[in-house]
Every structure is written in structure tokens, then in C-alpha cells.
Amino acid sequence: MKYAEVLVAGNFSGTFTYAIPGAFENHVTRGSFVKINFRNKILIGIIDRLYPNLDSNTGFAVKEIISVEINASVSGDFLDYVKKAAAYTMAPLGKFVAAIHPELIEEKTSETLVCMNILSKETSSREAIAKIVKKNSNKITLKELQKTAGVSSSLLRTMLKDGDIALFCSTERKVQNGEQQLNFSANLSADQADVSSKIIASQKVCLLQGATGSGKTETYAHILYKHIKSSGQGLVLVPEIALTTQLIRRIALLLGAEVTVWHSSLGLKQRIKNYTAIVSGNAKIILGTRSAICIPFHNLKVVIVDEEHDKNYKQEDRFYYHARDMAVLRAQYQSIKTVLVSATPSLETLWNVNCGKYDKFELRERFAGASLPNIHMIDMRKETPRDDYFLSDKLAAAISKNLSRGLQSLLYINRRGFAPLVLCKQCGYKFESPNASSWMTKHRHRATGKALLVCHHSGYTMPMPESCPSCMARDSFKSCGLGSERIFDELALLFPDAGIMEYSSDTVRTAGQVEKALQHIVANDIDIIVGTQMIAKGYHFPHLTLVGIVDGDAGLDGNDFRASEHALQMLLQVSGRAGRENIQGDVYVQTFDTERKVFSYLKQQDYQKFIEWELKNREMLKLPPFGRSASIILESRHELKLQNFSNQMRNHLPPSSAINVLGPAPASIFKLNHMYRMRFFLYAARAVNRQKYIRNWIDNIKLPSDIKLSIDMDPISFF
């Protein structure tokens, strides 16, 4: 009997040994998908290694593989990429296995039973089942066997676990006849055509940088076309689901072919259909969010990472990885062309350009002769709004003028809800989430006017009480701060005849709602849009000429060393929505500190000079990209036990002059979903092996069962 080392989907590291039943020996190879009995559960696995015999002194009983998917597998180079990704991120290897194989074996399958040579128990029922299988030449479905033998489904499940019977799973797939024919329809400018040809010729990872509205989408669509027009597949990654709606139409129109979508909001049937199309090669053009980089494509030739700077590419639930970095890593193992695209590239990417690892190509002018918008700073220390108002007279006047011209305005406020804090004027009581160490945000239902309190971190929701829970005073609540709903209400009072839309995750939740909202905006049915970061990037609105940034200071302070970088990226991106056609755009930024260095670069719209300034600061502090960092996050329901264990970890730190370790310290959100949280932060020179240091550290500490430890390499957020 042969044996296999199997990568098991789940929270597991390493591989597990399974025997290969004789009936499967000619049908398995490295990369085959299998089902196995793992701790009395049927789980999905991938064969990583095969070998002819097993050391007799293993000290454990070896179970047999239950079933094999004969129509699907992954290549050896893809498996090597996955194992390298897990090693770098220090995430459990089984988490990546689950990500690359989310639906396939759950599809409708045709299962052929195979009887094992020796029954584990010689009962009359089991012997009868063996005879039926042999009589049917080992070709009978599980349902047919149960009906013919007159046995219970539980007995068959037990026999599967015992290895008496095994299943071949043959997924039913509809294969298209012939390749989709692509036809690139856009007329590229000389600059676009030149950049496209140079990127295609480059042997490195390429950065495509260009001002907002410079025609980056048309350029990378041409690169897609050139790589997959004869054969192969192309993947376009986007950081948010909301960006897929408009981009699907643009790419489909540019390339004359269907675009297959992949993201978490697809229904199960659609996910199965799209996944099957991708892994079988029927889908040529795929548009997806970060999890798409984990799919085992049939013949992936090119990956485009649009808005590569966006922090939403970082996966931070279940396990940690950065989709942009995974795309670059995958390219190394599978010879895939990778193009990173942004108007405001990350410092890490630009550092790789400066080091010669990446090639950089620029589109310097806006498409069709459009000009960059004018930037106007509004000093809110001098332009004080009326009581309980947040829009200055100067910004309100600019919106009024834009309305009179029949043009659209966008008010940007990256804060959902009505107000981020509600307090009692009598006793000072504040509403704190019971599930997280954060204040409850006030939301107001626009149709009914009823107020809700929502925790944006845990999702906990409660109705606004009529009286203060502390002093019982009635009508004593004060809403502090501003959110998108409050700005919407203020605009409705200032401009009662205007068509106003709030565009946030509270108002556009589904793909259908996103599409409907975008159609109204593009058709100029909406006069004023109040939007969060969902609308700040990637969109092209031909009638939008004015952008008002309500709180320009948001995000510029805090414990994140990337705060200035992320803030300027967002400010430039949202500014870039204005004046993308032949009408001059204007951007108004409200701030209480006009002297901030970031605003000088915003006014000049000179991202390159900001990068030079920021790189000097980072180099002086030895922060990324000049060094590398990692976070260790500890979580538990027991606060005191967590703090004691965190201190114990600190006492077991391996000595090192090359690595600095800060902490333990309470996380910014100390309590989240009933779990208390502590953090360590590590930073070191680029040449230092952080993984080895962390492994030596945590392997020498026994982790209590009620404490969860997570590792975030190259952290983006520090909440």
C-alpha cells in the first residue's frame, strides 16, 4: 500500500500521513484533492507528497483516504507557492488550503463506490454491501447503494470512516466549446501605448503609476488583452467589492468578453459556478477581491493589482496575508506577469522600484486633456460654521454655485452614521459597546426617524433609549461629532430642492444597490453625493466637478506610522473624482491645521515629493520599508489571565540585538467581541529572519487553550 502526506484544510500546520487504498493508487498525484477522516470529521485535503511505504515504527494507526476528486488538482508549483506563503506569513498552512478550495468538493458530484479488500468488521450488512458494489463493477452512487442494500445512511458514513468503502468524486462541469474571442476596442493615446508595450516587454514586476483619470484602466486592459488573447487567463484584483460593478462593464466593453467575478458577497450557487469556470479554464477574465489570489487557476498568465496601495488588500480575519504581496510571490513560482497599479503607490512598492526589483512606468497626463482639480484649503479656525453645523459658508457657497450650473458635488466624510458619540448632558454618561471597548455610534433610520446605537467593531445594535441609563434624565442626550448621516441632513436643510444620496455601506449593501446607485450618479440624476471611502477611488463620474472633504484632519493622528501616507493617498484619490472630463474640477478641504506638511503636498498634488520626505523620516526611524515589522496578537475572554500570560511571554523573549520588541500593551480596541486583546510589536532590519525569531520564541511557551495567538507579518493596522 502507498502513502501520502496530506495538507488538511483548517487551523493546522504541517502535513498528516494517510494510506492510499489500492483502488486510488493510479488516480492520485501531488496536488490531488481528497477527503479524509480527521479527528472523526470529514475534511478536505491536498496531497503534498507520495511515497511507497511507511516506517513500521510510526507509533500511530494510519487511516485511509476516503475519496479522491479525479477531475481536479493543483500543480506542484502552485503548492510550492502556497507553502512559501504560509511560511512567510506564519499562518497555519491549512488556512491557505481552505482558501484555495472553498467550494469544489461541495459541488454536485457523481460518486463511484469502491469496496476495500478487507472489511474492518464482518457483519451481514457490510458483507451485503460489499457484494452489491462488486456486482456493479465498483460503479454505483452512494444513494443507489443505500437504496439497493436497504441500509441506513449512518452505516455507510461509518464504513467510509472505517475505510471499508471509498469514493471517487467526479465533478460535473459544463465545458465551453472553444476559447472566448477577445477584441480590444479602445484607441490608446501614444503615451498609453508606449507604457503598455514597455510593461509587456519587462521581465520584472511592474508598477503602473498615473494621475487619477490618466487612463490606467485602458492601459492595463490592453496589457490583459496582449497576454491572454490567444490562451490563458487574466486576473484583475480590486480592494473592495463595490469597485467591481462599474469595472466589470468597463473591462467587458474594452475586451469584448464576459468578466467572471469572485468575491465574498456572491451566493453559494454563483460562487460554485464561478469557481468551476475559473479552475477549469472556461473563464478568461476574472475580476475579484483579495481572496481571488488563492484560487488555483487553470492557466493564469497575468495579474493586475488595481489600487495596489489600498490597505483593504490585507486579510485580517481568520488569518493574515496581503493579497498584493501574495500576487508578487505567486508570480515568482508560476511565471505570471504582475502589474501593480495606483495613482498613489505604497512606500513599500516605490522602495522596491528604487532598489531595482520592480520596473516603474508612468502616465503623466489626465486622459483626453482633462486638468487636475484646483485645491482650496478652508481654515476652520476662521471659517466657523453655525451652531450644530459642520459645513463652512465657503464650502456651502461652492456647492450652491455648482448646483446652479447643473453639475454634481461629492462631500467626503469617512465616518458612517449620524454621530460617533452620544452622551448625557446631565451626568456625562456615554454609551459604550458591551462587546468592544469602543463608543456606540448613533445611526438614524431616514424613513422612520428612529435612532439606533451601533458598535461598528462588533456589530452590536440597540435602540436609543428614551432616558439616560445612569441618571434616568429624559431628553438629555447630545450627539457629538459628525458622520455621513449628519452631513446628509445638513445638506438637506441647506439645499432642500437638491437630489442628495448617501453612498456608504449602510445604504448600498448589495451588488444590485451599488449598480443602481452608480447608474443614478452617472446619469446625473443626483446633485450631491455624501460618500465614505467606498466612493473615494476607482470611479469615473463625468458630471462630478466639486469635491468637499468635510474633515481633512481625520486619520492624520494616532499610533500608525503610516498615517500620513494613508491620509494623503485617500485625499488625492477622492480629489481625483473631480473634473475628470472637460470641465475644471475644484476640491475644498476643511481643516483646523492648514500648516500640516501633508496639506502642502496635497495643494501641490505632488505625491513624489511627499514620498521623498516620508522615506527620509522612515529611514531615520528604521521603519518599513527600511526595516520589517510584525505583530503578535493575544486574545482571551479572561482579562487577568491574558495579562499574566502576556507578561510571561515577555519574560521568555529570546535575546537579540537585531530585533526590537515592544509590549505587551493593550490593543487600541482592548475588548472586541467579548475577547480581551494584547499586542507585541517587533521591528528589525530587512535582513533579519523574523519568522525564525518568533518561532524560537513561541515554541518555548505553552499556550493555554483559552488564549488565542495570531501573528501578523508586515502589519497594516494596529487596532
pLDDT tens, residue by residue, 346-364 = 999 999 999 999 999 999 8
- The residue among 125, 124, 149 whose CA lies nearest residue 135 is 149
- The residue among 260, 263, 270, 272 whose CA lies nearest residue 107 is 272
CA distance 238 to 262: 10
Task: Over range 76-105, report the average pLDDT.
Answer: 88
CB neighbour list of residue 614: distance below 8 Å, 6 or more residues apart: 347, 564, 565
Task: Over range 632-644, report the average pLDDT.
Answer: 97
| AA identity, residue 433 | S
pLDDT tens sequence across 312-356: 999 998 899 999 999 999 999 999 999 999 999 999 999 999 999
Q: Is the pLDDT of residue 175 over 50?
A: no
pLDDT-derived band of residue 133, with 50, 70 and 90 as boundaries?
confident
β-strands 109-115, 165-171 pairing: antiparallel
β-strands 441-444, 358-363 pairing: unpaired
- The residue among 283, 312, 311, 288 whose CA lies nearest residue 298 is 283
Q: Please, are residues 526 and 410 in contact by the beta-carbon 8 Å criterion?
A: no
Q: Is the pLDDT of residue 221 over 80?
A: yes
pLDDT of residue 335: 95
Q: Is 561 exposed, middle or buried (0-12, 13-18, 19+ CB in 10 A)?
A: middle
The three-point CA angle 712-717-719 to 5° equals 100
pTM of the predicted structure, to 2 decimals:
0.91
pLDDT of residue 22: 77
- The residue among 244, 283, 251, 247 whose CA lies nearest residue 266 is 244
pLDDT of residue 274: 92
pLDDT-derived band of residue 197, with 50, 70 and 90 as boundaries?
very high
CA distance 231 to 597: 49
pLDDT of residue 165: 75
Q: Is the peptide bond before 654 cis (omega within 30 degrees of 0)?
A: no
- The residue among 370, 407, 374 whose CA lies nearest residue 543 is 407
